C-alpha cells in the first residue's frame, strides 16, 4: 500500500474512435477537471481507424502522407510532446488530474515516476517480466521521428525494450498524461509511414509489444482491467466507472471540429 490518501477517480472506458475524437476527448476532460466540473479521470481507449499521431512540436514533414493514405490510416497532432506513434493494436490510457492532486504534484518527471508505478504494477499483473520505469533514459536519448525507438525518463521498459510511450502537458492548473501500450503486431510498422524511413530493425531492437514479451496475445479488455487494478493498488484509488458529462461531450465536439480535425493544427510546425 502506498502513502497516498484514499481518493476516488472516475474510470472512463471509451469506444474506439478516430484520432481527432480521441485527442479532443482528452483535452475536454482536462478543461472540465481544471474547472472543477469533473473528477480526476483514468481513461482507456482505442483508435479506429488506426492513426499516426505527431507530438505537439514535431514537424509534419516527418510523415509520408501518401504512404499513410495508402495504408488507410488517420493523422492527428497530440496536445502533448514527443515523437510519432502509430496507434494500432494497442491500449491507450490517459490520466487527468488537478495539479494539486498528490499523485501528480511536483515537476513532470516526479509525476511521471508516480504514475509509472501504476503502469508497472498493471503490467506485472499481466505477467510481463522485467518491467521497470527506466530512470536512466535521458542520458541515452536518441534523435529521430519514432517515439518507440527510445525510452524517456520513467517510461516503461520490459527486458530493456520500450513497452509504454507516454507524454504529458499542463494547462489551467491541471495535468494530462497519456500513453500507448502496444499489445501485438509489428512494432516497426510505423517506419514506412515516415519520410525518413527509419530502420525497422533498429526500432524492433529497442521497442516491443506485450505479445512479444509474453509469447501470447492479451485482449484489450484484459489489459485495461490489469492497468486499472495497477493504478488503483499503487496510487490508493477507488476507480468509479462513469461517462463523460454533457459539457465534456460538447467541448470535445467543439475541439474536434475547430482544432484536432483541422489542417491548421495538424500541419503546424
Active site (catalytic) residues: 147
Cβ burial, residue 90 (10 Å; 0-12/13-18/19+): buried
Sign of CA dihedral 199, 90, 247, 238: negative
Distance of CA 264 to the CA centre of its chain: 23
Contact 111, 95 (CB under 8 A): no
Q: Which helix (H) or strand (E) holds 20?
A: helix 19-34
* DSSP letters for 152-191: -TTEEEETTEEEEEEEEEEETTEEEEEEEEE-SS-TTTTG
CB within 8 Å of 7: residues ≥ 6 apart: 40, 101, 103, 235, 236, 237, 238
Question: Which triple of cell numbers denotes residue 166?
Answer: 507516454
Tell me how far apart the terminal alpha carbons of the chain are, to the nearest angstrom: 44
Interatomic CA distance for residues 241 and 221, integer angstroms: 14
Amino acid at each position: 500500500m502506498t502513502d497516498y490518501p484514499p481518493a476516488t477517480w472516475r474510470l472512463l472506458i471509451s469506444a474506439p474512435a478516430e484520432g481527432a475524437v480521441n485527442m479532443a476527448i482528452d483535452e475536454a476532460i482536462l478543461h472540465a477537471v481544471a474547472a472543477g466540473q469533473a473528477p480526476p479521470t483514468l481513461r482507456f481507449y482505442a483508435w479506429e481507424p488506426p492513426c499516426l499521431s505527431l507530438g505537439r512540436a514535431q514537424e509534419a514533414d516527418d510523415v509520408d502522407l501518401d504512404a499513410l493514405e495508402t495504408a488507410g490510416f488517420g493523422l492527428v497532432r497530440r496536445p502533448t510532446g514527443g515523437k510519432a506513434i502509430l496507434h494500432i493494436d494497442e491500449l491507450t490510457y490517459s490520466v487527468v488530474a488537478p495539479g494539486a492532486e498528490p499523485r501528480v504534484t511536483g515537476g513532470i518527471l516526479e509525476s511521471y515516476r508516480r504514475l509509472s508505478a501504476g503502469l508497472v504494477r498493471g503490467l506485472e499483473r499481466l505477467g510481463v517480466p522485467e518491467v521497470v520505469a527506466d530512470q536512466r533514459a535521458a542520458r541515452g536519448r536518441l534523435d529521430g521521428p519514432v517515439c518507440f525507438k527510445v525510452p524517456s525518463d520513467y517510461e516503461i521498459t520490459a527486458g530493456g525494450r520500450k513497452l509504454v510511450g507516454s507524454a504529458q502537458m499542463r494547462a489551467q492548473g491541471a495535468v494530462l498524461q497519456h500513453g500507448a501500450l502496444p499489445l501485438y503486431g509489428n512494432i516497426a510498422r510505423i517506419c514506412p509511414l515516415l519520410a525518413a524511413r527509419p530502420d525497422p530493425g533498429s526500432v524492433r531492437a529497442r521497442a516491443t509489444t506485450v505479445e512479444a514479451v509474453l509469447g501470447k496475445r492479451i485482449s484489450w479488455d484484459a489489459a485495461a482491467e490489469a492497468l486499472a487494478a495497477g493504478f488503483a493498488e499503487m496510487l490508493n484509488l477507488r476507480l468509479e466507472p462513469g461517462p463523460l458529462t454533457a459539457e465534456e461531450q460538447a467541448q470535445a465536439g467543439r475541439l474536434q471540429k475547430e482544432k484536432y480535425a483541422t489542417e491548421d493544427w495538424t500541419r503546424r510546425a
